[in-house]
Amino acid sequence: MSDNKDDETGQGEDGAEGLSPDIMYDQSGDEAGKSHEKNSHAFTSDEAEPAPEPVAEPEPEAPKPESVAVPPRKPDRLNPVLRWALYVVVGFFTFSILSVAVHRFVPVPVTILMLQRLAEGEGLDHRWVSARDISPNLKMAVVAAEDAKFCTHDGFDFEAIEKAQKYNATHKKKRGASTISQQTAKNVFLWPSRSWVRKGFEVYYTGLIEVMWPKDRILEVYLNSVEWGPGVYGAESASRYWFGKSAKNLTRAEAARLAAILPSPRKWKAARSGKYVQKRSGKIQAAARTFQNGGIDICAAE
Protein backbone atom coordinates (compact mmCIF):
# COMPACT_ATOMS: atom_id res chain seq x y z
CA MET A 1 0.00 0.00 0.00
CA SER A 2 2.81 2.28 0.93
CA ASP A 3 4.38 1.53 -2.30
CA ASN A 4 1.35 2.51 -4.16
CA LYS A 5 1.14 5.71 -2.29
CA ASP A 6 4.68 6.39 -3.10
CA ASP A 7 3.97 5.66 -6.66
CA GLU A 8 1.03 7.91 -6.64
CA THR A 9 3.06 10.47 -4.81
CA GLY A 10 5.74 10.07 -7.35
CA GLN A 11 3.32 10.40 -10.10
CA GLY A 12 2.00 13.44 -8.41
CA GLU A 13 5.46 14.95 -8.25
CA ASP A 14 6.12 13.96 -11.77
CA GLY A 15 2.76 15.24 -12.88
CA ALA A 16 2.91 18.58 -11.10
CA GLU A 17 5.74 19.73 -9.03
CA GLY A 18 7.85 16.85 -9.96
CA LEU A 19 8.61 18.04 -13.54
CA SER A 20 12.18 17.89 -14.59
CA PRO A 21 14.22 21.09 -14.69
CA ASP A 22 14.88 20.66 -18.36
CA ILE A 23 11.30 20.61 -19.21
CA MET A 24 10.62 23.58 -16.97
CA TYR A 25 13.47 25.56 -18.55
CA ASP A 26 12.26 24.83 -21.96
CA GLN A 27 8.79 26.03 -21.15
CA SER A 28 9.98 29.15 -19.39
CA GLY A 29 12.36 29.84 -22.21
CA ASP A 30 9.60 29.60 -24.75
CA GLU A 31 7.41 31.89 -22.72
CA ALA A 32 10.22 34.36 -22.17
CA GLY A 33 11.03 34.31 -25.86
CA LYS A 34 7.47 34.97 -26.75
CA SER A 35 7.29 37.73 -24.18
CA HIS A 36 10.53 39.28 -25.47
CA GLU A 37 9.35 38.98 -29.02
CA LYS A 38 6.05 40.60 -28.09
CA ASN A 39 7.78 43.42 -26.21
CA SER A 40 10.25 44.01 -28.98
CA HIS A 41 7.39 44.18 -31.46
CA ALA A 42 5.58 46.67 -29.31
CA PHE A 43 8.76 48.74 -28.91
CA THR A 44 9.52 48.76 -32.56
CA SER A 45 5.94 49.69 -33.47
CA ASP A 46 5.94 52.65 -31.04
CA GLU A 47 9.33 54.04 -31.95
CA ALA A 48 9.22 53.56 -35.72
CA GLU A 49 8.77 56.75 -37.80
CA PRO A 50 5.53 57.00 -39.73
CA ALA A 51 5.76 56.42 -43.41
CA PRO A 52 5.77 59.72 -45.41
CA GLU A 53 2.54 60.63 -47.10
CA PRO A 54 2.65 60.43 -50.83
CA VAL A 55 3.06 63.87 -52.47
CA ALA A 56 0.54 64.59 -55.15
CA GLU A 57 2.22 65.46 -58.36
CA PRO A 58 1.10 68.85 -59.82
CA GLU A 59 -1.25 68.59 -62.68
CA PRO A 60 0.21 69.80 -65.90
CA GLU A 61 -0.99 73.29 -66.85
CA ALA A 62 -3.32 73.58 -69.73
CA PRO A 63 -1.70 75.27 -72.69
CA LYS A 64 -2.61 78.97 -72.88
CA PRO A 65 -4.34 80.09 -76.01
CA GLU A 66 -2.20 82.18 -78.23
CA SER A 67 -2.95 85.90 -77.66
CA VAL A 68 -4.05 87.85 -80.66
CA ALA A 69 -1.82 90.87 -81.24
CA VAL A 70 -3.87 94.11 -80.96
CA PRO A 71 -2.51 96.97 -83.03
CA PRO A 72 -1.61 100.04 -80.90
CA ARG A 73 -4.34 102.68 -80.80
CA LYS A 74 -3.44 105.86 -82.55
CA PRO A 75 -3.59 108.93 -80.31
CA ASP A 76 -6.69 111.04 -80.83
CA ARG A 77 -5.46 114.39 -82.05
CA LEU A 78 -8.84 115.99 -81.48
CA ASN A 79 -8.85 115.56 -77.71
CA PRO A 80 -6.16 118.18 -76.95
CA VAL A 81 -7.93 120.64 -79.23
CA LEU A 82 -11.24 120.10 -77.50
CA ARG A 83 -9.57 120.32 -74.10
CA TRP A 84 -7.95 123.67 -74.88
CA ALA A 85 -11.16 124.93 -76.44
CA LEU A 86 -12.95 124.07 -73.21
CA TYR A 87 -10.30 125.93 -71.21
CA VAL A 88 -10.76 129.00 -73.41
CA VAL A 89 -14.54 128.97 -73.12
CA VAL A 90 -14.53 128.49 -69.35
CA GLY A 91 -11.83 131.13 -68.96
CA PHE A 92 -13.75 133.64 -71.05
CA PHE A 93 -16.99 133.22 -69.12
CA THR A 94 -15.13 133.42 -65.81
CA PHE A 95 -13.23 136.55 -66.85
CA SER A 96 -16.27 138.31 -68.31
CA ILE A 97 -18.49 137.69 -65.29
CA LEU A 98 -15.77 138.74 -62.85
CA SER A 99 -14.94 141.91 -64.81
CA VAL A 100 -18.58 142.97 -64.98
CA ALA A 101 -18.96 142.25 -61.26
CA VAL A 102 -15.86 144.31 -60.41
CA HIS A 103 -16.95 147.33 -62.44
CA ARG A 104 -20.30 147.31 -60.71
CA PHE A 105 -18.39 149.17 -57.99
CA VAL A 106 -14.94 150.05 -59.39
CA PRO A 107 -14.48 152.89 -61.94
CA VAL A 108 -13.35 151.96 -65.44
CA PRO A 109 -9.81 153.35 -65.74
CA VAL A 110 -9.31 152.97 -69.50
CA THR A 111 -10.94 151.35 -72.53
CA ILE A 112 -9.63 149.82 -75.73
CA LEU A 113 -10.90 152.81 -77.74
CA MET A 114 -8.96 155.21 -75.49
CA LEU A 115 -5.75 153.26 -76.05
CA GLN A 116 -6.36 153.10 -79.79
CA ARG A 117 -6.93 156.85 -80.07
CA LEU A 118 -3.88 157.48 -77.91
CA ALA A 119 -1.77 155.36 -80.25
CA GLU A 120 -3.13 157.42 -83.14
CA GLY A 121 -1.83 160.58 -81.47
CA GLU A 122 -5.08 162.11 -80.22
CA GLY A 123 -4.12 162.19 -76.56
CA LEU A 124 -6.10 161.00 -73.56
CA ASP A 125 -8.21 163.21 -71.30
CA HIS A 126 -10.33 161.02 -69.03
CA ARG A 127 -11.59 162.05 -65.58
CA TRP A 128 -13.95 159.74 -63.73
CA VAL A 129 -16.58 161.36 -61.49
CA SER A 130 -19.46 159.85 -59.55
CA ALA A 131 -23.05 160.15 -60.73
CA ARG A 132 -23.68 162.76 -58.03
CA ASP A 133 -21.16 165.06 -59.73
CA ILE A 134 -22.90 164.92 -63.12
CA SER A 135 -25.72 167.35 -63.78
CA PRO A 136 -29.19 165.82 -64.13
CA ASN A 137 -29.53 168.05 -67.19
CA LEU A 138 -26.87 165.99 -68.94
CA LYS A 139 -28.40 162.69 -67.87
CA MET A 140 -31.82 163.64 -69.21
CA ALA A 141 -30.38 165.08 -72.43
CA VAL A 142 -28.32 161.98 -73.18
CA VAL A 143 -31.22 159.60 -72.53
CA ALA A 144 -33.52 161.74 -74.69
CA ALA A 145 -30.97 161.77 -77.53
CA GLU A 146 -29.65 158.22 -77.43
CA ASP A 147 -32.18 155.90 -75.79
CA ALA A 148 -35.64 157.21 -74.91
CA LYS A 149 -36.75 153.82 -73.55
CA PHE A 150 -33.65 153.34 -71.41
CA CYS A 151 -35.57 153.06 -68.16
CA THR A 152 -38.06 150.49 -69.44
CA HIS A 153 -36.19 148.06 -71.73
CA ASP A 154 -33.92 145.18 -70.71
CA GLY A 155 -30.97 146.23 -72.79
CA PHE A 156 -32.47 146.10 -76.30
CA ASP A 157 -35.05 148.28 -78.04
CA PHE A 158 -36.54 145.85 -80.56
CA GLU A 159 -38.90 148.45 -82.00
CA ALA A 160 -35.96 150.73 -82.78
CA ILE A 161 -34.04 147.80 -84.26
CA GLU A 162 -36.93 147.00 -86.61
CA LYS A 163 -37.21 150.63 -87.72
CA ALA A 164 -33.46 150.80 -88.34
CA GLN A 165 -33.56 147.67 -90.47
CA LYS A 166 -36.33 149.09 -92.66
CA TYR A 167 -34.52 152.40 -93.02
CA ASN A 168 -31.16 150.80 -93.83
CA ALA A 169 -32.74 148.63 -96.50
CA THR A 170 -33.60 151.73 -98.58
CA HIS A 171 -30.82 154.18 -97.63
CA LYS A 172 -27.10 154.17 -98.18
CA LYS A 173 -26.41 155.96 -94.94
CA LYS A 174 -27.04 153.48 -92.18
CA ARG A 175 -28.89 154.21 -88.98
CA GLY A 176 -28.09 152.49 -85.71
CA ALA A 177 -30.42 151.28 -82.99
CA SER A 178 -28.02 150.56 -80.14
CA THR A 179 -29.26 151.36 -76.66
CA ILE A 180 -27.20 153.02 -73.95
CA SER A 181 -26.69 149.58 -72.42
CA GLN A 182 -25.30 148.23 -75.70
CA GLN A 183 -23.02 151.22 -76.16
CA THR A 184 -21.74 150.84 -72.60
CA ALA A 185 -20.96 147.17 -73.19
CA LYS A 186 -19.12 148.04 -76.40
CA ASN A 187 -17.21 151.01 -75.00
CA VAL A 188 -16.06 149.35 -71.79
CA PHE A 189 -15.47 145.70 -72.67
CA LEU A 190 -14.99 145.43 -76.45
CA TRP A 191 -13.01 146.79 -79.37
CA PRO A 192 -14.25 149.54 -81.75
CA SER A 193 -14.96 147.71 -84.98
CA ARG A 194 -18.01 146.71 -86.99
CA SER A 195 -18.38 142.95 -87.31
CA TRP A 196 -20.87 140.23 -86.47
CA VAL A 197 -18.39 138.71 -84.04
CA ARG A 198 -18.12 141.91 -82.03
CA LYS A 199 -21.89 142.35 -82.23
CA GLY A 200 -22.35 138.90 -80.73
CA PHE A 201 -20.05 139.74 -77.82
CA GLU A 202 -21.89 143.04 -77.44
CA VAL A 203 -25.20 141.21 -77.01
CA TYR A 204 -23.61 138.93 -74.40
CA TYR A 205 -22.08 141.78 -72.36
CA THR A 206 -25.27 143.82 -72.62
CA GLY A 207 -27.18 140.98 -71.02
CA LEU A 208 -24.57 140.71 -68.27
CA ILE A 209 -24.61 144.37 -67.29
CA GLU A 210 -28.42 144.52 -67.41
CA VAL A 211 -28.53 141.61 -64.96
CA MET A 212 -25.65 142.66 -62.70
CA TRP A 213 -25.86 146.48 -62.77
CA PRO A 214 -28.75 148.80 -61.91
CA LYS A 215 -29.83 151.37 -64.47
CA ASP A 216 -28.18 154.28 -62.72
CA ARG A 217 -24.84 152.44 -62.72
CA ILE A 218 -25.13 151.72 -66.45
CA LEU A 219 -25.75 155.40 -67.17
CA GLU A 220 -22.94 156.47 -64.84
CA VAL A 221 -20.41 154.21 -66.57
CA TYR A 222 -21.63 155.34 -70.00
CA LEU A 223 -21.30 159.03 -69.18
CA ASN A 224 -17.79 158.48 -67.83
CA SER A 225 -16.45 156.40 -70.73
CA VAL A 226 -18.10 157.69 -73.92
CA GLU A 227 -16.00 159.60 -76.46
CA TRP A 228 -16.85 163.33 -76.55
CA GLY A 229 -14.12 164.80 -78.73
CA PRO A 230 -10.59 164.12 -80.03
CA GLY A 231 -8.94 162.38 -77.07
CA VAL A 232 -11.75 163.52 -74.71
CA TYR A 233 -13.69 160.90 -72.72
CA GLY A 234 -16.34 161.21 -70.05
CA ALA A 235 -18.70 163.95 -68.94
CA GLU A 236 -16.22 165.78 -66.71
CA SER A 237 -13.50 166.03 -69.34
CA ALA A 238 -16.05 166.98 -72.02
CA SER A 239 -17.57 169.75 -69.89
CA ARG A 240 -14.18 171.24 -69.19
CA TYR A 241 -13.01 170.81 -72.78
CA TRP A 242 -16.06 172.38 -74.43
CA PHE A 243 -17.38 174.82 -71.81
CA GLY A 244 -14.62 175.22 -69.24
CA LYS A 245 -16.73 174.07 -66.28
CA SER A 246 -17.46 170.98 -64.22
CA ALA A 247 -20.08 168.48 -65.37
CA LYS A 248 -22.25 169.17 -62.34
CA ASN A 249 -22.68 172.80 -63.42
CA LEU A 250 -23.94 172.25 -66.97
CA THR A 251 -27.01 174.13 -68.07
CA ARG A 252 -29.81 172.56 -70.10
CA ALA A 253 -28.59 174.12 -73.32
CA GLU A 254 -24.99 173.01 -72.73
CA ALA A 255 -26.09 169.50 -71.78
CA ALA A 256 -28.24 169.30 -74.94
CA ARG A 257 -25.31 170.33 -77.12
CA LEU A 258 -23.06 167.70 -75.56
CA ALA A 259 -25.74 165.10 -76.19
CA ALA A 260 -26.19 166.33 -79.77
CA ILE A 261 -22.60 165.60 -80.82
CA LEU A 262 -22.48 162.01 -79.46
CA PRO A 263 -23.10 160.34 -82.86
CA SER A 264 -19.98 162.03 -84.29
CA PRO A 265 -17.92 163.62 -81.49
CA ARG A 266 -14.73 163.97 -83.53
CA LYS A 267 -16.53 165.84 -86.31
CA TRP A 268 -19.14 167.98 -84.57
CA LYS A 269 -18.54 170.69 -81.96
CA ALA A 270 -20.53 171.32 -78.81
CA ALA A 271 -19.27 174.90 -78.44
CA ARG A 272 -19.57 177.30 -81.36
CA SER A 273 -21.51 174.55 -83.09
CA GLY A 274 -23.01 174.69 -86.57
CA LYS A 275 -26.61 174.89 -87.57
CA TYR A 276 -27.21 171.14 -87.60
CA VAL A 277 -25.95 170.70 -84.04
CA GLN A 278 -27.94 173.72 -82.88
CA LYS A 279 -31.12 172.36 -84.44
CA ARG A 280 -30.53 168.90 -83.06
CA SER A 281 -29.73 170.21 -79.58
CA GLY A 282 -33.00 172.19 -79.58
CA LYS A 283 -35.00 169.03 -80.20
CA ILE A 284 -33.05 167.19 -77.52
CA GLN A 285 -33.65 169.94 -74.99
CA ALA A 286 -37.37 169.81 -75.68
CA ALA A 287 -37.46 166.02 -75.34
CA ALA A 288 -35.47 166.13 -72.12
CA ARG A 289 -38.19 168.16 -70.44
CA THR A 290 -40.48 165.15 -70.65
CA PHE A 291 -38.19 163.27 -68.27
CA GLN A 292 -38.29 165.84 -65.49
CA ASN A 293 -41.44 164.32 -64.01
CA GLY A 294 -41.09 160.89 -65.59
CA GLY A 295 -39.00 157.75 -65.82
CA ILE A 296 -35.51 159.25 -65.97
CA ASP A 297 -35.92 160.76 -62.50
CA ILE A 298 -36.89 157.36 -61.16
CA CYS A 299 -34.33 155.08 -62.82
CA ALA A 300 -31.24 157.19 -63.39
CA ALA A 301 -31.32 160.83 -62.39
CA GLU A 302 -31.03 160.44 -58.64
Please say if the pLDDT value at position 51 is more than 80. Answer: no
The pTM assigned to this predicted structure is: 0.72
Higher-pLDDT residue of 187 and 21 is: 187
pLDDT confidence of residue 176: 84
Q: Specify which of 34-38, 45-49, 187-191 reaches the highest per-range mean pLDDT.
A: 187-191
Is the predicted pLDDT of residue 188 greater than 90, yes or no? yes
Q: Which of the given ranges, 43-47, 78-82, 290-294, has the highest pLDDT on average? A: 78-82
pLDDT at 70: 62
pLDDT for 36 equals 47
User: Per mean pLDDT, which range of 60-74, 105-119, 200-214, 284-298 is the poorest?
Assistant: 60-74
pLDDT at 174: 79
Q: What is the pLDDT of residue 56?
A: 58
Domains and CATH numbers, the chain: 83-299 (1.10.3810.10)
> Is pLDDT above 80 for 194?
yes
149-176 residues labelled b (16+ CB within 10 A) or e (exposed)? ebbebebbbeebeeebeeeeeeeeeeee
**Residue 167 has what pLDDT?**
87
Higher per-residue confidence, 77 vs 11: 77
pLDDT for residue 117: 94
125 forms beta bridges with: 232
Dist. CA 225–CA 301, nearest whole Å: 18
Has residue 24 got a pLDDT over 60?
Answer: no
- Tell me the torsion sign for CA atoms 97, 103, 106, 109: positive
- Note whether 103 and 221 are within 8 A (CB): yes
The answer on pLDDT for 14 being more than 60 is no
Contact 159, 167 (CB under 8 A): no
Kindly provide the b/e burial profile for residues 277-290, where b requires at least 16 CB atoms within 10 angstroms of the residue's own CB.
Answer: beebbeebbebbee
- Per-residue pLDDT at 15 exceeds 90: no
Which is more confidently placed, 273 or 17? 273
Laid out side by side, the sheet with 227-229 consists of 125-126, 232-233, 227-229
Tell me the percentage of the chain whose pLDDT exceeds 90.
58
| Residue type at 197 in one-letter notation | V
pLDDT, residue 175, reads: 82
pLDDT band at 171 (very low <50, low <70, confident <90, very high): confident
pLDDT of amino acid 4? 45
Q: Residue range 60-75: average pLDDT? A: 61
CB–CB of 264/119 below 8 Å?
Answer: no
Mean per-residue pLDDT, 194-202: 92
115-166 per-position pLDDT tens digit: 999 999 999 999 999 999 999 999 999 999 999 999 999 999 999 999 988 8
Given this model, what pLDDT does residue 123 score? 92
β 125-126/232-233 pair status = parallel
Per-residue confidence band for 294, with pLDDT thresholds at 50, 70 and 90: low
pLDDT confidence of residue 177: 87
DSSP of the chain? -HHHHHHHHHHHHHHTTT--HHHHHHHHHHHHHHHHHHHHHHHHHHHSPPPPPPPPPPPPPPPPPPPPPPPPPPP-THHHHHHHHHHHHHHHHHHHHHHHHHTTTS-----HHHHHHHHTT---EE----GGGS-HHHHHHHHHHH-TTTTTSSS--HHHHHHHHHHHHH-SS------HHHHHHHHHHS-S---HHHHHHHHHHHHHHHHHS-HHHHHHHHHHHSEEETTEESHHHHHHHHHSS-GGG--HHHHHHHHHTTTSTTTS-SSS--HHHHHHHHHHHHHHGGGTTSHHHHHT--
What's the mean pLDDT when you consider all of the chain?
81
Q: In angstroms, rounded to a whole number, what is the distance separating the alpha carbons of residues 149 and 156? A: 9
